[in-house]
Amino acid sequence: MQKSRSRVHPWKIVAVAVGAAAVVGVGVAIAIGASTASPPAAEPASSATEPSGAPAADGRVAATPEQAYALSLPVLGAWLEDDFDHAWIATAGTLEAAAAALDYAARDDVQYAHWVDTFTQVLDIADAVADGDQQAALAAYAPLSAQHPGPYADVIVDRSVSRVPADDALPHLDALDAAIAAGDHIAVRRSAGDVAEAFAEVIRAAQLHVPDEAHQVLTRLLPALHVVDEVHAAVRDDQTEDAAAAAAELRSSFDTFTAWHQSVSG
């Protein structure tokens, strides 16, 4: 049963939604914002001077999708451990990073299969967070954290959010349908990855718009993300008909979420 949760101020959600992973030397400093109710961030390097929010341009290169995913894990782990009731705030960031890595790996069969499995494991964490089951969430998180210990030096992560992520998701749904109809295997992989990434960004943005119901956003969009996962699994296993059937469910699932979000956001 979903646990009741107190209202969270929008600025606290913003701190995670736009916080970037700052790497100083070989130490990782995760800027996630701070308050008396916030969990501790990953231990910063002693020379770190970055304020919370996106770091200023300083010559660091953009993180690869895999690096961005790895750097999201300590943030998620801190919330799972220290403020589990609000861990839904950070979960979407890792979902989005895993989806971006999945999208990036679309052209390589081995890497694509790996990231499909990883995305499924991140969804397991999201399910446990939505269910209020901390032990299950930590159990699902542990193997993922062990696979990506980092750190990555001299990289910066883009955590910006589209102004209209829900609208941006629609062309990706169209592209997925078109790719399936055309039988373009790689295009289906890429489009399904784009949809997963777009949905995760919708979660991050929607949390800001409904502070009184923000804890429900992840739960309400999880069914659609699971359908995306079914598309990926079907494509990986060359089950074209299964992929088409799963894709057909996506719009109705996303429409259900959109209707709920509109009802609570006014």
Q: Is the peptide bond before 151 cis (omega within 30 degrees of 0)?
A: yes
Axis crossing angle, helix 109-131 with helix 88-104, rounded to the nearest 10: 170
**Can you read off the two tokens belonging to residue 111?**
């890497």
Residue type, 162: S
User: How far is 39 from 130, CA to CA, in rounded Å?
Assistant: 18
- Answer yes or no: are the C-beta atoms of 5 and 26 closer than 8 Å: no
Q: What is the mean pLDDT of the chain?
A: 78
184: pLDDT strictly greater than 60? yes
Largest CA distance in the chain: 54
Instruction: Tell me the per-residue pLDDT of 16-55, one tens digit each, with 9 for 90 and over.
Output: 444 433 322 222 333 233 233 334 333 333 333 333 444 4
Helix residue ranges, H only, 132-164: 134-147
Q: Which residue has the higher pLDDT, 56 or 88?
A: 88
pTM, whole model, 2 decimals? 0.77
Mean pLDDT, residues 63-84 = 92
Instruction: Tell me the per-residue pLDDT of 222-250, one tens digit each, with 9 for 90 and over.
Output: 999 999 999 998 988 888 788 889 998 99
Residue type, 12: K
- Answer yes or no: are the C-beta atoms of 192 and 225 closer than 8 Å: no
